[in-house]
Amino acid sequence: MSMKLSTRQVDGVTIVDCSGRITLGEGSVTIRDTVRELLSKGNKKIVLNLGEVNYIDSSGIGELVSAYTTTKNQGGELKLLNLTKKVHDLLQITKLYTVFDVKDDEAAAVKSFK
């Protein structure tokens, strides 16, 4: 199953709902492009909702890191929402869980932006 993305606005925060797989060649590029496009339009408060992401590989992890650093470098904030157990465990193993701001409640995630 390939990656599907859709964006919506909630109180000035852009929620990117992701579903499917974030792997090499099918989805990684889409996340990168989507985040860059959002930033170029001035949307600097971004939440990646990964609740429907059932698989991620090392390339996908790299893309999440890329999205995070690109956003940060442009003065924005990117947070992760609703991690599945598999993605959560993978971020723990790679020690990225503490790097990302991870939320499990959308309303709280939206409120957490300054």
Partner 1 sequence: MEQLVSYTLDSTLETVDHAEEKATRIAQEMGFGEDEVMQISMAVREGAVNAVLHGNAYAPDKKVVLAFERTPDGLVITIRDQGKGIDLGGIPNPLAPENLLKTSGRGIFLMRSFMDEVEIRPSKTGTEIKLIKHVHGASGGGKEGSL
Please report whether residue 83 would count as binding partner 1 according to CB under 8 A.
no
HSE-CB at 46 with a 13 A cutoff on CA atoms is 33
Alpha-helical runs (H) found in the chain? 28-40, 58-73, 85-93, 106-111
Please report whether residue 5 would count as binding partner 1 according to CB under 8 A.
no
Q: Where does residue 73 rank: exposed (0-12), middle (13-18), buried (19+ CB within 10 A)?
A: exposed
Cβ distance to partner 1 smaller for residue 41 or 85: 85
**Interface residue with partner 1, options 41, 42, 75, 95 (CB under 8 A):** 95
Rg (CA), the chain: 13
Site track for partner 1 across 42-81, x = CB under 8 A: ---------------xxx-xxx-xx-xx------------
Please report, as ranges, the residues that interact with partner 1 according to CB under 8 A.
23-25, 57-59, 61-63, 65-66, 68-69, 85-86, 89-90, 93-96, 99
